[in-house]
Amino acid sequence: MSILTRYLSFHIIKNILSVLLLLTVVFSIFSVLAELEIVTGAEGIKLIPIFWLIESLLLGYKLIPFAVLIGSVLGLSSLVSTNQLLVMQISGFTARYRRNSILIVGFTLFVITFVLGELVVPFAKKLKAEIQLSIGETRDFTLTDKGFWARNQNIFFKVETLQGKNIVKGIEIYEFDDGMELQSILTADSGTHNGLIWIFEGASVLTFKPKYSVKKYDSLFEKQLTIGPEIMEMVVSEQKDQSIFSLLAYLKLAKTADRITDDLYFNIFQKLSYWIDIFVLLILSHFLVRINLARFSSSKNIISGVCIGFGYFMFGKILNQAGLVFSLSPGLVAFMPSMLLLLVIYIFKMRSN
């Protein structure tokens, strides 16, 4: 690695982290102020600093792509305004050095976001939810009241709550034949999976075929089902908050249980597009500054970067909603913002030529 490449990479990373820190602090203050309105009791006040730390961490992870674009533009603009980039070019700083710098910065940020997204963020989101309950916030139980549904072939499994890894409450199991005629309904107060079979308490079974019967079980009732607790956990979990490894495990499980959904594919693709966009935004920042070298304006570059950044996020949000309304392909919805950024890079490249 050359000295120029190392210097440029370090300068860009420093500016990206500075912008990220500033954005995170500003946005986290608004989040904490909103949380203070619902705090009840002295114990809730004591938890606010911890909540602020967790919220800052989660916001920082979300804001990294935006900080990459603004920080890179800011860093490159400062080099141009002080003629350092001009001196580098005179010293033999070619496109190869720029490319190497993009790879170094991109890989560094990829490692940071990978560690945060795969190890820290899932744990932090669970901890944040627990703190929000502790400081007085009421969780929305709408989905829980309606229950969670899982299906494997002709068996439909419904639970009201998932209390532990292998414990469920409020159980209803509907079994159908191949003609989708209802065969039986099992209800139970609770159920535990011992690794092989389900053990239900307070169970009753209503059988329709081959003979109508109703039977209640005062003792424990055992039943082997193809739907295990891991499938219920997959249904209940917010997949967008899971690591890529968990999502791929869910995909394998969903294929086995015949429960593949577009949401699962979308969350996997969105994880991948998040990392791809880091490199794309770095490339975009270099073209954005280079195209304005003839009539350089640091403020113009930064404003352009901010506008492109907000446009990128707004387009992604709108496209997500459009994907739900019009049932668009998960891959198209997840990768379209990246494709749009590549189109902007191509336009800048053509103008610079």
Q: What is the pLDDT of residues 131-187, one digit of tens each?
A: 776 665 444 333 334 567 777 778 888 887 776 667 888 889 989 888 888 899 999
Assess if residue 246 is contained within a domain.
Answer: no
Q: What is the pLDDT of residue 69?
A: 94
Average pLDDT over residues 178-197: 88
Structural domain boundaries, residue 207? 142-237
pLDDT category at 230 given cuts 50, 70, 90 is low
Contact 207, 213 (CB under 8 A): yes
- Does residue 271 share a domain with residue 130? yes
- Does residue 325 share a domain with residue 303? yes
**Phi, psi dihedral angles at 204 (to 5 degrees):** -145, 145
Q: Provide the mean pLDDT of the chain.
A: 82
Residue of 86 and 156 predicted with greater confidence:
156
Q: What is the pLDDT of residue 93?
A: 67
- Does residue 91 share a domain with residue 62? yes
Contact 169, 181 (CB under 8 A): no
Assess if residue 72 is contained within a domain.
Answer: yes
Q: What is the pLDDT of residue 12?
A: 94
Q: Is 112 helix (H, G, I), strand (E, B) or coil?
A: helix
- Does residue 174 share a domain with residue 106? no
Give the total number of structural domains in the chain: 2
Q: What is the pLDDT of residue 46?
A: 81
pLDDT category at 241 given cuts 50, 70, 90 is low
- Does residue 231 share a domain with residue 107? no
Contact 63, 23 (CB under 8 A): yes
Per-residue tokens: 352: 């610079």
Q: What is the pLDDT of residue 234?
A: 56
- Does residue 268 share a domain with residue 125? yes
- Does residue 183 share a domain with residue 132? no
